Chains A and B, each alone.
Chain A
Amino acid sequence: MTSTTKGYLDMDLLRFTTAGNVDDGKSTLIGRLLYDSRAIFDDQMEAVERASSKRGNGELDLSLLTDGLRAEREQGITIDVAYRYFATPRRKFIIADTPGHIQYTRNMVTGASTANLAIILVDARKGMQEQTSRHAFIASLLGIPHVVFCINKMDLVDYDEKAFHAIKDQLEDFSSKLEVRDLNFIPISALRGDNVVKRSTNMDWYQGTTLMYLLENIHIAGDLNHIDRRFPVQHVIRPMTEEWHDFRGFAGQIDAGIFRVGESVQVLPSGFQSTIKSIHVGDREAQEAFAPQSVVMTLSDEIDISRGDMISGTNNLPQTGQDIHVMLCWLNQKPLQPGGKYALKHTTRDARCMVKEVAYKMDINTLRRLESDKAIGMNDIGRVHLRTTVPLHYDLYTRNRNTGSLILIDEATNETVAAGMIV
């Protein structure tokens, strides 16, 4: 085995999202991470050089690496979530690069939904702004365990320690209102490369790590829930061949916990108990499996189980109910219809629901609850009571992002119109 391969097979995966406005230097930061970790190839670089010179501003515009669609390049803005990839010898990284404009909150929510970490950019000259609080709130609402505030453009404030600490204090104060487990602050200059990949020689007063060091070393194994046991059934496998005549396996991806052969489980909604007879990972049998593995399980008893059912540990069941309270992010032009009916997806279960009540709308800039304004339109976030046609087997979103999340779909257009976090 070559050295390249040996290290590669022992890397883990960190998904992170970046939020910030065009002016905050977000694209430059991503360009810098990709460039300094050698994830940008010569032909991509040549394309950027060609495009930069076409614009005639002389300087190499790293942001051109991340703007993919014609309209984005023409308008110099990012319209949609773009996914970027790079790897260092320690980790592989997936960046969900999301636009920061007010009208694109839906993209930020989308990018944040699968992220373990959020980078929020703050302009050192401007300090905390409305959009900063919005980004931080969304990161917290979407349950991102690690947030890194990058105080950018330090070069434009003469690398001043006081400027950094003033903004840090502001952000810490605001963040105390949020539920974020792990907060970090790094003074950087994405343009000059200070504290991004290489340690800055301009800020001796800063004792912390570079952004890249933090991304490579932050502990993420503890982000997964290994306590509750949750296995939503995705698909029933019945080969009906001679060799596998009576085989009836339940395929799915483990949402939380560790499942072992011989242990007892409970099937929902039927409530029947059984024991795990076998676990298959691809064509290999295993004695145990854990989140987020995709496996097939067989049970010792013949129980009627189909897609949308949940196999759970016996002593720690999910909640079951048809009255679901969610924090809802509205993602569609057509506003939420009070009393309206929507299709709903939760784990592998399809249902329908009715909007019973809007409790309040959030002002996401001040974090105030607007109890008198309950109109939920595009990019609004509010607390909503849904009544579902069938019971859902769920956990609170803060406990389990997989069993605590749902989406709503407009039944006429089939568009995904809302993202819900169960509270």
Chain B
Amino acid sequence: MSSTHSYRLTHLKELESESMFILREVAAQFERPALLFSGGKDSIVCFHLARKAFFPSKVPFPLLHVDTGHNFGETIAFRDRLVGKYGVELLVGSVQKSIDEGKVVEETGYYASRNKLQINTLLEAIETNKIDCAIGGARRDEEKARAKERVFSHRDEFGQWDPKNQRPELWNLYNGRKLVGEHFRAFPISNWTEMDVWQYILLEQIEIPSLYFSHEREVFERDGVIYANSPFMKLKPDEKPFMKRVRFRTIGDMSCTGAVDSPASTLEEIIEEVASTRTTERGSRMDDKRSEAAMEDRKKEGYF
């Protein structure tokens, strides 16, 4: 490179650099971190960043998947392929197991969701695996309670988040000190937006599950949202499944993730769609529609 080089990083490279720094801080400050892996694009980007941060070493922490039992088959297949390809350890916390053991009670009715039940399973997985820092792919632009989240976020011995009493976080000096029994959540892509994530996936040619691309699927409509028809959703008498070309903008449980009517079948087309769309990603998430502070309430109890 010549001496006339401008020595300026583009914003995506600056974000990448910041995220790599955060991931290395986690590895340096904690004894047993784990990367929360849902098979969604944000956790896939986090894993990609971790591979870059520690290259040529392997990613020095396991993946932790909180399996609700209501996953899309494509997500699980993708997860297992990724784990095999990069030789990384996979830990699974099972919501079904928590239900079977009577630790949580399954919701019933048409709007039954295992979303809230994940909290218990997650905290239990953190405890049994002695994880002292759970790395998550949450972004501050997703939701207004998340906009107030720290990069290194303290959790008390009950796994609770206290939003009004967070540690100040200055410069890039992250304070991961804690008492025995407490743990941390770390969010390396806090400062990324949905668009940043998609552009980065394109730039780095990162593989993502096929669910994100337009495909034909049996769906049904409820309250204006299109859902995949699955054994996990009980149809109301007037709801009839039908075939449609859809894709998913986020990937969560089959019981709470809405699909979008979309022909976008390449990353470029998805980016065009995201650029012109007028609703947020979480607009199609039933778990956030429950109340204005739905996310804040779940986070306080220990949600991602």
Contact residues of A with B, CB < 8 Å?
1-2, 4-5, 8-13, 41-44, 47, 51, 66-71, 73, 79-85, 87, 91-92, 94, 106-107, 109-110, 113-114, 221, 226, 234-235, 237-239, 241, 243-244, 247, 249, 251-253, 258, 280, 282-283, 287-288, 290, 292-294, 296, 307, 331, 343, 345-346, 348, 401-402, 405-407, 409, 414-416, 419
* Cross-chain contact B164 with A290 (CB below 8 angstroms): no
**Which of B17, B25, B175, B280 has a CB less than 8 Å from the CB of A409?**
B175
A408 to chain B, nearest CB (A): 10
Asked if B298 is at the interface (CB within 8 A of a chain A CB), the reply is no
The contact sample of 22 A-B pairs, CB cut-off 8 A, is A2-B268, A9-B10, A9-B203, A69-B144, A69-B293, A69-B296, A70-B296, A80-B148, A82-B147, A85-B191, A113-B171, A234-B25, A243-B56, A251-B24, A280-B56, A294-B24, A294-B53, A307-B28, A402-B172, A407-B175, A414-B175, A419-B168
A364 and B266 CA atoms in complex are apart in Å by 55
Known: A68-B148, A293-B17. A282 touches B167 (CB 8 A): no
* Cross-chain contact B57 with A239 (CB below 8 angstroms): yes
Asked if B193 is at the interface (CB within 8 A of a chain A CB), the reply is yes
**Which of A5, A249, A345 has a CB less than 8 Å from the CB of B175?**
A345
A13 and B8 CA atoms in complex are apart in Å by 10
Contacting chain A: which of B76-84, B100-108, B236-244, B271-279? B271-279
A305 to chain B, nearest CB (A): 14
Contact residues of B with A, CB < 8 Å?
1, 6-18, 20-21, 24-25, 27-28, 51-58, 140-141, 144-148, 163-164, 166-173, 175, 177-179, 190-191, 193, 195-196, 199, 202-203, 268, 271-272, 275, 277-280, 283, 292-293, 296
**Which of A5, A290, A419 has a CB less than 8 Å from the CB of B199?**
A5
A413 to chain B, nearest CB (A): 9
A108 to chain B, nearest CB (A): 10
Known: A80-B166, A109-B170. A4 touches B272 (CB 8 A): yes
A209 and B191 CA atoms in complex are apart in Å by 28
Interface of A is mostly: mixed
Q: A5-B202, A41-B277, A294-B16 are in contact. List 17 more A-B contacts (CB 8 A).
A: A43-B279, A68-B296, A69-B144, A83-B190, A85-B193, A91-B11, A94-B191, A237-B57, A247-B56, A282-B51, A288-B1, A292-B9, A294-B17, A331-B168, A407-B170, A407-B171, A416-B168
A235 to chain B, nearest CB (A): 5
* Cross-chain contact B272 with A83 (CB below 8 angstroms): no
A82 and B163 CA atoms in complex are apart in Å by 11
* Cross-chain contact A41 with B278 (CB below 8 angstroms): yes
* Cross-chain contact B173 with A407 (CB below 8 angstroms): yes
* Cross-chain contact A235 with B15 (CB below 8 angstroms): no
CB-based closest 4 A-B pairs: A68-B144, A282-B52, A13-B11, A294-B20
A1 and B21 CA atoms in complex are apart in Å by 30
Tally the A-B contacts, defined by beta carbons under 8 Å: 203
* Cross-chain contact A415 with B167 (CB below 8 angstroms): yes
* Cross-chain contact A2 with B271 (CB below 8 angstroms): yes
* Cross-chain contact A416 with B170 (CB below 8 angstroms): yes
Known: A13-B14, A80-B163. A406 touches B9 (CB 8 A): no
A346 and B148 CA atoms in complex are apart in Å by 24
Note all chain A residues with C-beta closer than 8 A to B195: 8, 87
* Cross-chain contact B11 with A11 (CB below 8 angstroms): yes
User: Which residue of the partner chain B has the closest CB to A332?
Assistant: B168
A13 to chain B, nearest CB (A): 4
A83 and B166 CA atoms in complex are apart in Å by 15
Known: A13-B14, A239-B57, A283-B52. A234 touches B280 (CB 8 A): no
User: Which residue of the partner chain B has the closest CB to A92?
Assistant: B11
**Which of A9, A292, A348 has a CB less than 8 Å from the CB of B14?**
A292
Note all chain A residues with C-beta closer than 8 A to B168: 106-107, 109-110, 331, 416, 419
Note all chain B residues with C-beta closer than 8 A to A247: 56
A341 to chain B, nearest CB (A): 14
* Cross-chain contact B10 with A12 (CB below 8 angstroms): yes
User: Which residue of the partner chain A has the closest CB to B276?
Assistant: A4
Note all chain A residues with C-beta closer than 8 A to B25: 234
Known: A82-B148, A85-B141. A416 touches B167 (CB 8 A): yes
* Cross-chain contact B9 with A12 (CB below 8 angstroms): yes
Note all chain A residues with C-beta closer than 8 A to B140: 83, 85
Note all chain B residues with C-beta closer than 8 A to A51: 292
B101 to chain A, nearest CB (A): 33
Note all chain A residues with C-beta closer than 8 A to B167: 415-416
Note all chain A residues with C-beta closer than 8 A to B293: 69-70
* Cross-chain contact B170 with A405 (CB below 8 angstroms): yes
